[in-house]
Amino acid sequence: MWLRRVGRGVTVRCVNSVLRELVELGAGLVTRGAAGQVVPSWTLRQACRNGELVRVLPEVFVAAHLVGGRPGAPALSRLDPALSLRAALAWAGGDGALSHLSALAVWGLRSEEVGDLVHLSTPASASLRSRPGVIVHRRRGLSIEPPQVVVRRSMMAIVCAVCWTLPRHWGFLDRGGALCHT
């Protein structure tokens, strides 16, 4: 095992160089599907057993050193907020969009803290269900495409349009547009 530092302070430990590169490309995150295209399935299992990767959601893994404290909390809730949003979107696989308070954070109208729940909205027909750290909201008539859903902030996140989210969570904002901390 060895450490390698990548952009924006992300350091990745990996035995397999191909898996390490894949995790680096994902800024600390990799899906089983992406890994399965370039390495045998045992490589991902071995990285988890060795403590190099942690499963944060089904089919979604992050570099272990990116998972913070708070033992007992879901692994997703122990990640940096931006990484937890990316992990939830990776898990949704295009069947969901960030919504509610998570969408407000991506739009820059609310700051997120480690441990905040991730909110995803999905079409009513989608098979996603809430999991520890993620609340899934099922919406009739939701289409995961513009104009209902847009990409925001080059974090490659799909976010429910702010016009849906802001009125529902107006109480979380103060008169100056900053979040009220309660």
**Per-residue pLDDT tens digits for 141-173:** 888 888 788 887 654 345 655 556 566 656 655
- 58, 65 Cβ separation under 8 angstroms: no
The number of beta carbons lying within 10 Å of the beta carbon of residue 137 is 16
Indicate the residue type of 22: L
Count of C-beta atoms within a 10 Å radius of residue 58: 9
Specify the pLDDT at position 124: 94
The per-residue pLDDT for 10 is 60
Q: How many CB atoms lie within 10 A of CB 104?
A: 25
Q: Which residues of the chain have pLDDT under 50?
A: 1-3, 14, 155-157, 174-175, 177-182
CA distances from 47 to 7, 38, 60, 91, 148 (A): 21, 14, 13, 19, 38
Rounded CA separation 27/56 (Å):
15
For residue 175, the model assigns a pLDDT of 43
Cα 21 to Cα 2: distance, rounded to the nearest angstrom:
13
Pairing between β-strand 60-63 and β-strand 53-57 as defined by DSSP bridges: antiparallel
Tell me how many degrees the CA angle 136-141-146 measures, rounded to the nearest 5: 90
